[in-house]
Amino acid sequence: MINLTGLCNICLVLGLNWARKVSVPPGPLVRVEGQTLSLRCEVSDYEGPPEQDFDWKATRGSETINVISTFDSSFPDQSLKDRVISEDIRVQRLGDSTVELRIRESKVTDSATYTCSTPSTDSVISGNYHANVQLTVIADMLVLVPEAPVSSVTEGRSISLRCNISYDFVEGIYLSVTYSIKKEHSLEEDIFTFGPDVGVTVGLNFTRRYADGGMHLHMDSGGSYSLVLSGAVPADEGMYVCAARQWTREQGVWNRIQEKTAVMGQVAVVPTGEDGLQTFTVALDSPVVAQYLGEPTELVCKVTNISLFRWERLGVSWFYSVASPSNDQRTTDIIASLNENGALVPSEKYRSRIASGHIVVTQMEPATFKLHLLHTANTDAGEYACSVMTWAPTRHGNWKKSSEHRSHALTVRLASKGPGVSVAARIVRPATSTGSTFEMACQARLKNLQAGISLSVLILVQESIGAPNRKLASLNPDLILKLEDWLESSRKDSLSLLKSGREEFRFRIQGVQLTDKGFYSCEVGVWTRQDRNEWAEVAKADSNKVLLTFDHTRPSFELSISSDTSSIYPWETVKMECIVSVSGTSPNTDDVAYEIRWYLSPLRGSDSLTLLASMDRWGMVKKSPRNDSSDCSLERLRAQRFTLNIHGTQDSDAGEYYCTATPWIRSGISGVWSKEPDLISKRVFLNVKFALWDSIKLPLLYGTCASLSVGLFSLILGFVCARCCCRNTTHTPRSRIKLMDLEID
Ligand SMILES: *[C@@H]1O[C@H](CO)[C@@H](O)[C@H](O)[C@H]1NC(C)=O
Ligand SMILES: *[C@@H]1O[C@H](CO)[C@@H](O)[C@H](O)[C@H]1NC(C)=O
Ligand SMILES: *[C@@H]1O[C@H](CO)[C@@H](O)[C@H](O)[C@H]1NC(C)=O
Ligand SMILES: *[C@@H]1O[C@H](CO)[C@@H](O)[C@H](O)[C@H]1NC(C)=O
């Protein structure tokens, strides 16, 4: 002892710093009401006796009370006496220099700053003699409400374990939830713990199951914690317990400050037989099956008896195989899948049809999937199957396929696989001669095809049997006309092709030529819309052939006459027209010419026929000399129309008019002109209204002569009277006499 003291003195002399050190845990500390709490106090680097004394004080606000002391039993404050006597509050010595203040059942009112002090036993006062720690005792608000699980589950089903937990949130306090199982004749085994940090602790015997997604904790914001164990096995049988713990983190170490445990209940697992293990069944149905090509087909894959966990996901794969009972080695193609993320994964073979929307794969309801073929083709007939997969999350955030169930195969047949269309061509208007009109109809007959289709047509001609087909014109499914190998651009307008009925087309050539002769047929295509833009041909058919032909006959001519009036007044103009019409194989206009003559059979005077005028085949006009003041003119309006105008008509122009025409035809081969027989028109009668003039011209002449005679007689009589009766008058003006002389002359 002396040595030690001496050593200490030497140390002091050497400048070693002896300084008492009192320490308590660093605060602030949080504890829960009702729990036992302890505050440790330790002293070091002191002089004097090894066993040290301690006392505790508590300060709340400005008030400080004595709590307990190791050496003075009268030390505790009056308010704490009972608790000290009952040892609810005591100080426990752990060693010479270490004690613990213990409160067996802490109260919220115990919250205070606690000071641990040691009386000095040192020769020199040095260091600290007391230390403080702040303690907060919070009310116990942790409530754990377990929900009894179903007492018995079938093997393979899931066990849902729910505990509802509520507590007051206090900063620095953390919660953990632990699920355990207590099996008969064995210790309680932790299955799964969530918290107190965000981590998860999985019991050793459950790690595999957790990694496979067979165990999952679901929490909701209301404080409900559910642990679901899927795919129950007999070993899952037992008593389930859940525990809620509150923790603080002190000096980097988790410190449990509260724990509540509740038994949830006993669960029995009923084993199933070998084939009883179905968590669900998959049924494939076809609510819509195409009866005809191009119609839609719908297949529905429905999962029934499913007890899907909330975190699990469903996926589907669709399969197709050609139904060929004779051939064993059938191949099955995958069409497309919906994966665990709901993404569509088309197979290579079906990629384009899926991309174009021709095939649609959808999830209609959580457990119902649909395969929709918008336009069923012949090649779509066969066997279909679907396979439904469940996906569970792994702890790494991935998805793992947890089960797969395949439906039975369903056969899809089209009512008929035969050709969908046939076409019949017929002549509507036969060509009779060059220049006439030819018209044919193409009547399609659709079999096994229905709405949503459009027809196209192509007109083909074959000059003779065995000759190659030449395309003339076509209408596409949008009914846009295209002239194909129709070479004569000058005759473009003489050709027409149109849709004349729901399933009928008309083709027409106006003014047929010798070169148009041949065998005509049509090819009708049936189209459906693949998507918004594209037509796809689903069927096609050729018609029979119809013959365009006609006899090459000599032309025959006819001549007709017309007049714009049949009765006119003198001095007016009349116009008459002679028209040559040609029927049969008409020659080109350049190869025909006409000589025209106009005749008059006068009404009055003579019964002789008068040639009025003529026009030779080159257009030279020759007029006959005329006796009266009227005149005539000739005109060629068009190749085959000729007019005669009579200007300033006179009485003599009345009568019957007619014309004659002499056609001249030039042979296409030799170029020689030859004359055809004369044509004579009918006669037209022209009446000139002369009656008024005829009736007044003689009376007018006689009247004029008579009045002149009477006037002359009166003058003479007057002159004689003047000579006889007025002889005495002397002053006769010379001028008057002169005038009278003149008048007598
Ligand atoms: C647990 O909480 C949920 C809602 O979060 C509630 O529906 C359920 O009834 C609660 N269970 C118990 C046993 O209180
Ligand atoms: C795991 O299960 C076996 C057999 O059921 C048991 O003996 C063992 O104690 C369990 N392990 C733990 C950590 O509970
Ligand atoms: C659903 O399951 C029950 C019993 O597990 C069974 O009787 C029933 O036939 C199943 N239903 C279907 C559609 O598979
Ligand atoms: C003109 O008069 C002559 C003689 O009188 C007659 O022969 C002739 O036919 C007349 N011509 C016409 C155009 O009337």
Ranges 108-122, 226-240, 717-731: which has the least confidence: 717-731
Closest CA to 107 of 128, 146, 79: 79
CA 213 / ligand 2 centre spacing (Å): 20
- Asked whether residue 715 is domain-assigned, the answer is no
Task: Give the separation between CA 160 and CA 242, rounded to whole angstroms.
Answer: 12
Atom number in ligand 3 closest to CA 154: 5
Given a contact cutoff of 8 angstroms between Cβ atoms, the answer to whether 68 and 55 are in contact is yes
Task: Give the separation between CA 547 and CA 541, rounded to whole angstroms.
Answer: 19
Given a contact cutoff of 8 angstroms between Cβ atoms, the answer to whether 239 and 263 are in contact is yes
pLDDT at 586 over 60: yes
Q: To which residue do tokens 């649909």 refer?
A: 370
Strand positions, DSSP E, 676-719: 679-680, 684-688
Q: What pLDDT sits at residue 11?
A: 42
Given a contact cutoff of 8 angstroms between Cβ atoms, the answer to whether 632 and 647 are in contact is yes
- Asked whether residue 706 is domain-assigned, the answer is no
CA 362 / ligand 4 centre spacing (Å): 105
184 lines ligand 2 (CB under 6 A): no
pLDDT at 443 over 90: yes
Ligand number with the minimum distance to the CA of 601? 4
CA 306 / ligand 3 centre spacing (Å): 10
Work out the average pLDDT over 219-235. 87
Distances (CA, A) of 599 to 221, 334, 476, 612: 119, 95, 60, 5
Ligand number with the minimum distance to the CA of 226? 1
Peptide bond into 49 cis (omega under 30): no
Atom number in ligand 1 closest to CA 223: 5
- Asked whether residue 13 is domain-assigned, the answer is no
For residue 711, which phi and psi values (nearest 5 degrees)?
-65, -45
For residue 515, which phi and psi values (nearest 5 degrees)?
-70, -10
Ligand number with the minimum distance to the CA of 157? 3
Q: Is 252 left (phi over 0), alpha (psi -120 to 50) or beta?
A: left
Closest CA to 417 of 445, 376, 378: 378
Task: Give the separation between CA 81 and CA 89, rounded to whole angstroms.
Answer: 9
pLDDT at 419 over 90: no
CA 157 / ligand 1 centre spacing (Å): 22
Q: Tell whether 533 and 583 lie within a shared domain.
A: no
Q: To which residue do tokens 């005539």 refer?
A: 632
- Asked whether residue 520 is domain-assigned, the answer is yes
610 lines ligand 4 (CB under 6 A): yes
Give me the number of domains the chain comprises: 5
- Asked whether residue 8 is domain-assigned, the answer is no
Q: To which residue do tokens 């709405």 refer?
A: 451
Distances (CA, A) of 388 to 360, 381, 437, 575: 17, 22, 66, 95
Q: What pLDDT sits at residue 449?
A: 63
**Dihedral angle, C-alpha 373, 379, 385, 386, nearest 10 °:** -40
Mutate to test the pocket of ligand 3, among 157, 272, 281 (most ligand atoms within 8 A of CB): 281
pLDDT band, very low/low/confident/very high, at 395 (cuts 50, 70, 90): low
More confident residue, 298 or 378: 298
Closest CA to 403 of 519, 305, 300: 305
pLDDT at 277 over 60: no
Atom number in ligand 4 closest to CA 606: 9
Given a contact cutoff of 8 angstroms between Cβ atoms, the answer to whether 154 and 165 are in contact is no
Given a contact cutoff of 8 angstroms between Cβ atoms, the answer to whether 516 and 452 are in contact is no
Closest CA to 191 of 174, 214, 173, 166: 214
Q: What pLDDT sits at residue 22?
A: 93
- Residue 345, judged by CB atoms within 10 A of its CB (0-12, 13-18, 19+), counts as middle
- Asked whether residue 613 is domain-assigned, the answer is yes
CA 210 / ligand 1 centre spacing (Å): 25
190 lines ligand 2 (CB under 6 A): no
More confident residue, 507 or 527: 507
Ligand number with the minimum distance to the CA of 307? 3
Q: Tell whether 342 and 363 lie within a shared domain.
A: yes
**Residue 406 one-letter amino acid:** R
Ranges 115-119, 428-432, 668-672: which has the least confidence: 668-672
626 lines ligand 4 (CB under 6 A): yes
160 lines ligand 1 (CB under 6 A): no
204 lines ligand 2 (CB under 6 A): yes
Strand positions, DSSP E, 374-417: 382-393, 399-406, 410-412
pLDDT at 267 over 60: yes
Work out the average pLDDT over 660-677. 79
pLDDT at 743 over 50: no
Q: Tell whether 316 and 360 lie within a shared domain.
A: yes
Given a contact cutoff of 8 angstroms between Cβ atoms, the answer to whether 191 and 203 are in contact is yes
Mutate to test the pocket of ligand 1, among 160, 224, 227, 242 (most ligand atoms within 8 A of CB): 224
Q: What pLDDT sits at residue 215?
A: 87
For residue 714, which phi and psi values (nearest 5 degrees)?
-65, -40
Ligand number with the minimum distance to the CA of 304? 3
- Residue range 41-71, pLDDT digits in tens: 999 998 888 999 999 999 999 999 999 999 9
- Residue range 20-44, pLDDT digits in tens: 999 999 988 999 999 899 999 999 9
Q: Tell whether 226 and 299 lie within a shared domain.
A: no
Distances (CA, A) of 204 to 61, 185, 196, 258: 50, 19, 19, 25
Nearest residue by C-alpha to atom 2 in ligand 1: 224
Write the CB contacts of 640 (distance below 8 Å, at least 6 apart in sequence): 579, 580, 581, 582, 594
Q: What pLDDT sits at residue 675?
A: 86
205 lines ligand 2 (CB under 6 A): yes
CA 207 / ligand 2 centre spacing (Å): 12
More confident residue, 1 or 643: 643
Task: Give the separation between CA 621 and CA 610, rounded to whole angstroms.
Answer: 16
pLDDT at 13 over 60: no
pLDDT at 616 over 70: yes
Q: Tell whether 256 and 306 lie within a shared domain.
A: no
**Dihedral angle, C-alpha 639, 644, 647, 649, nearest 10 °:** -170
Domain that holds residue 330: 281-412
Ranges 355-364, 406-415, 456-465, 643-652: which has the least confidence: 406-415
pLDDT band, very low/low/confident/very high, at 15 (cuts 50, 70, 90): very low
CA 187 / ligand 2 centre spacing (Å): 9
Ranges 168-172, 504-508, 583-587, 638-642: which has the least confidence: 583-587
Atom number in ligand 4 closest to CA 625: 13
CB atoms near residue 274 (< 10 Å): 5
348 lines ligand 1 (CB under 6 A): no
Nearest residue by C-alpha to atom 4 in ligand 2: 205
Q: What pLDDT sits at residue 583?
A: 78
**Residue 276 one-letter amino acid:** G
pLDDT at 180 over 80: yes
**Domain final position from 517, 548, 579:** 548
Task: Give the separation between CA 92 and CA 41, rounded to whole angstroms.
Answer: 10
Closest CA to 303 of 213, 368, 395: 368
Q: What pLDDT sits at residue 670?
A: 57
Task: Give the separation between CA 236 and CA 620, rounded to whole angstroms.
Answer: 125
Q: Tell whether 63 and 183 lie within a shared domain.
A: no
Work out the average pLDDT over 591-620. 87
145 lines ligand 1 (CB under 6 A): yes
Instruction: Give the binding-site residues of ligand 3, using a 6 Å CB cut-off.
Output: 281, 304-305
CA 232 / ligand 3 centre spacing (Å): 19
Q: What pLDDT sits at residue 416?
A: 61
The secondary structure of residue 653, as a DSSP letter, is G
Q: What pLDDT sits at residue 311?
A: 62
Distances (CA, A) of 677 to 596, 624, 667, 671: 13, 24, 16, 19
Mutate to test the pocket of ligand 1, among 145, 162, 164 (most ligand atoms within 8 A of CB): 164
Work out the average pLDDT over 345-351. 93
Q: Tell whether 595 and 688 lie within a shared domain.
A: yes
Nearest residue by C-alpha to atom 6 in ligand 1: 224
Q: Tell whether 688 and 563 lie within a shared domain.
A: yes
Write the CB contacts of 609 (distance below 8 Å, at least 6 apart in sequence): 599, 600, 601
Q: What pLDDT sits at residue 532?
A: 62
Work out the average pLDDT over 191-216. 87
Q: What pLDDT sits at residue 171?
A: 86
Nearest residue by C-alpha to atom 9 in ligand 3: 305
**Packed helices 734-744 and 691-725: angle between N→C axes, nearest 10 degrees:** 140
255 lines ligand 1 (CB under 6 A): no
CA 627 / ligand 4 centre spacing (Å): 6
Give me the chain's average pLDDT, please: 84
Atom number in ligand 1 closest to CA 222: 5
Q: Tell me if residue 482 falls in helix, strand or coil.
A: strand
Nearest residue by C-alpha to atom 1 in ligand 2: 205
Q: What pLDDT sits at residue 138?
A: 92
Instruction: Tell me the CATH number at 220.
Output: 2.60.40.10
The radius of gyration of the chain's CA atoms, rounded to the nearest angstrom, is: 65
pLDDT at 282 over 80: yes
Q: Tell whether 563 and 687 lie within a shared domain.
A: yes
222 lines ligand 1 (CB under 6 A): yes
Distances (CA, A) of 176 to 246, 254, 257: 6, 11, 11
CA 220 / ligand 1 centre spacing (Å): 10
Task: Give the separation between CA 500 and CA 493, rounded to whole angstroms.
Answer: 19
405 lines ligand 4 (CB under 6 A): no
Work out the average pLDDT over 472-489. 85
More confident residue, 452 or 69: 69
* 336: β partners: 318, 346
Q: Tell whether 235 and 336 lie within a shared domain.
A: no
More confident residue, 454 or 584: 454
Token representation of residue 458? 């192509």
- Asked whether residue 732 is domain-assigned, the answer is no
**Domain final position from 675, 692, 709:** 692
224 lines ligand 1 (CB under 6 A): yes
**Domain final position from 504, 522, 548:** 548
CA 628 / ligand 4 centre spacing (Å): 9
Atom number in ligand 3 closest to CA 280: 14
Please give the model's pTM, rounded to 2 decimal places: 0.41
Nearest residue by C-alpha to atom 11 in ligand 3: 305
Q: To which residue do tokens 């899931």 refer?
A: 158
Atom number in ligand 4 closest to CA 610: 13
Ligand number with the minimum distance to the CA of 603? 4
CA 305 / ligand 3 centre spacing (Å): 6
Task: Give the separation between CA 221 and CA 235, rounded to whole angstroms.
Answer: 32
- Asked whether residue 28 is domain-assigned, the answer is yes
Mutate to test the pocket of ligand 4, among 600, 627, 688 (most ligand atoms within 8 A of CB): 627
Helical (H) or strand (E) element with 83: helix 81-85
Q: Tell whether 218 and 341 lie within a shared domain.
A: no
Q: Tell whether 353 and 427 lie within a shared domain.
A: no
